[in-house]
Amino acid sequence: MTTTSATPPGDDHIPFEPVGASERRGPLRAGDRVQLTDAKGRMHTITLQPGHAFHTHRGSFQHDELIGRPEGTVIRNSSGTEYQTLRPLLSDFVLSMPRGAAVIYPKDAGQIITMADIFPGARVVEAGVGSGALSLSLLRAVGDHGHLHSFERRADFAEIAQGNVADFFGRHHPAWTVTVGDLAETLPTAEPAGSIDRVVLDMLAPWECLDAVATVLAPGGVLINYVATATQLSRTAEALRADGRFTEPAAWESMVRGWHLDGLAVRPEHRMIGHTGFLLTSRRLADGTAPLTRRRRPQGTEATPEDKAAWTGETFTDEALGERPTSAKKIRRVIRDTGNRPQIVERHSGSAAGQAEATSTAPGEADQ
């Protein structure tokens, strides 16, 4: 694969610019999403449109006053309230974008990119698209010449995700393919055996997909799982060990605590982002290679009937894990709020695959 680099000195060709780069630099333009922050830290997100105005109970100002001005401008409204104006960062966008399913927090997305070693040009499979939060980080990492193939069981979630991604990058990302269907059934026919560098699973029962993942994952490739509960974590780890094609799994979680900074009053914030999920990684072994046998001290404990039931009798559903199901009414509202239609969605039913295409519309405004 040939990758176009920046233009060398003296070259008259137009330099290559990655998708979305032009949306992140230069003066503020019509259509740009802008984050307004007042002196108390309250934030509003608007999309700049000529002739429009931003109103609150504290006054208003015209969008035209910002269009053409540099990012970082402080603007004063009709009542004298000042707002700092900046384009939202990816982390800001993820936490404020329309969503149908819960998103993977930036703290976890950053670790997935680093610990799974998602590199430019990588071929990555993602399962469990949700609202597209992790897809944004993965597309940033693989770049225009990489390949991200995302699988989602629910067509409405896939539509929301495609709208959010198109809204952030300004258009459909050329490295992205979205397939609506079950990963275990569709992955072996969607990607050639041994062709995938990394696999990211965000689903209720990742252990059900290990055979399909092992088929397409190249030797040395990384599998990283995001699960919400300790029961899911334990079952996935044991399934990886029993499969025999993966290295010994490693797992962790992260917690982020902000700090209050005001002169000499430096202390932890009262609130923090605690447990959001567990991350578990393993790597694909070469075919015909047996994993190393773990050496550890005996624990001296026996599994109870309740422990064994977690692997045999329990059905993993959103409700069983204590998650509230997303209502159909909310899904319809979120799809409307994204203001985008999907680019290309491959639809699968069982083992029979078909394709359905739709043309996206221009991103709509998502004021908050």
The domain of 64 spans 21-88
Considering the chain, what percentage of its residues have pLDDT values greater than 90?
A: 65
Per-residue pLDDT, 359: 35
Number of structural domains the chain divides into? 2
Q: Tell me the C-alpha to C-alpha distance, in Å, between residue 261 and each of 72, 82, 89, 258.
A: 22, 22, 22, 10
Contacts of 79 by beta carbon, 8 Å cutoff, 6+ apart: 58, 59
Among the candidates 62, 88, 114, a domain finishes at 88
- Residues 272, 220 share a domain: yes
- Residues 118, 46 share a domain: no
Per-residue pLDDT, 347: 46
Long-range contacts of 328-335 (CB under 8 A, 24+ apart): 330/100, 331/100, 331/156, 331/157, 331/160, 334/98, 334/99, 334/100, 334/131, 334/160, 335/100, 335/156, 335/159, 335/160, 335/163
Distance between start and end Cα atoms, the chain: 42
- Residues 111, 52 share a domain: no
- Residues 196, 302 share a domain: yes
Per-residue pLDDT, 349: 41
Per-residue pLDDT, 288: 92
Per-residue pLDDT, 353: 39
Residue 25 within any structural domain of the chain: yes
Q: Are 146 and 121 in contact (CB under 8 A)?
A: yes
Per-residue pLDDT, 161: 93
Per-residue pLDDT, 316: 60
Q: Are 138 and 200 in contact (CB under 8 A)?
A: yes
Q: Are 170 and 342 in contact (CB under 8 A)?
A: no
Residue 152 within any structural domain of the chain: yes
Quick: pLDDT tens for 262-318.
999 999 999 888 899 999 999 999 999 999 877 776 665 666 677 666 666 555 666
- Residue with tokens 């050329």, as numbered in its chain: 174
Tell which residue, 21, 368, 16, has the closest CA to residue 168: 21
Q: What is the CATH classification number for the domain harbouring 44? A: 3.10.330.20
Per-residue pLDDT, 311: 61
To which H or E segment does residue 124 belong? strand 123-127
Contacts of 72 by beta carbon, 8 Å cutoff, 6+ apart: 84, 85, 86
Q: What is the CATH classification number for the domain harbouring 277? A: 3.40.50.150
Tell which residue, 184, 194, 251, 189, has the closest CA to residue 221: 194
Q: Which two tokens stand for residue 272?
A: 């923090």
DSSP state string for 3-54: ---PPPTT--SPPP--TTGGGGSSS--TT-EEEEE-TT--EEEEE--TT-EE
Q: Which two tokens stand for residue 6?
A: 């920046």
- Residues 289, 217 share a domain: yes
Per-residue pLDDT, 322: 60
Positions in the chain whose pLDDT score sits under 50? 1-14, 341-368
- Residues 226, 167 share a domain: yes
- Residues 135, 50 share a domain: no
Residue 348 within any structural domain of the chain: no
Torsion 163-164-167-173 (CA) sign: negative
- Residues 316, 212 share a domain: yes
